[in-house]
Amino acid sequence: MKSSQKLKLKWRYLKYKFGIFILVILKLLSIFVGWLSLIIPCWIIGNQVWDYLKTGIWIPNSCLELVKFFNLKWVESPDSWQGLYVVLEFIPSSIPVFIILFYFSSCWNDVLEQRAIEHDNVYKEFWDTATS
């Protein structure tokens, strides 16, 4: 095998290893977001319980608190969509946080698994070329 071919094979192998490194980092990020989907809602509920035990007054954290984060004027004084306002006021903020983070984590995990399969197929092709 010529030295230029060996250099090309080494370069392809390094690209493969770098791809594995990126996939591992993204997989760890996906796991981290999955854990956040459990920790953040528990923290929200725990904070509510802590305040209740301290003051004796239950202060609900509804979805409206999440919507207020985006500075929408409709939340301050709703002129229309009164039913939506009541529903958002009823739903605890921990539920949509859990759903959004869990959905993101599971979808990202599926994408990463598909990329890992494609990456392995590229490596098999590389190995077949290198050994022939």
pLDDT tens over the chain, length 132 residues:
577 777 777 777 777 778 778 888 888 888 888 888 889 888 988 988 999 999 999 888 888 888 887 787 888 778 888 888 888 888 888 888 888 888 888 887 777 877 777 777 776 776 666 666
97 contacts: CB under 8 Å, gap ≥ 6: 37, 40, 41, 44, 66
61 close to 93: Cβ distance less than 8 angstroms: yes
Look at residue 127 in the predicted model and tell me its pLDDT: 66
pTM for the whole structure: 0.63
pLDDT of 132 reads 63
How many Cβ atoms are within 10 Å of 101's Cβ, its own excluded?
19
- The Cα-based distances of 7 to 1, 28, 86 in angstroms read 10, 32, 66
Residue 72 neighbours by CB distance under 10 Å: 11
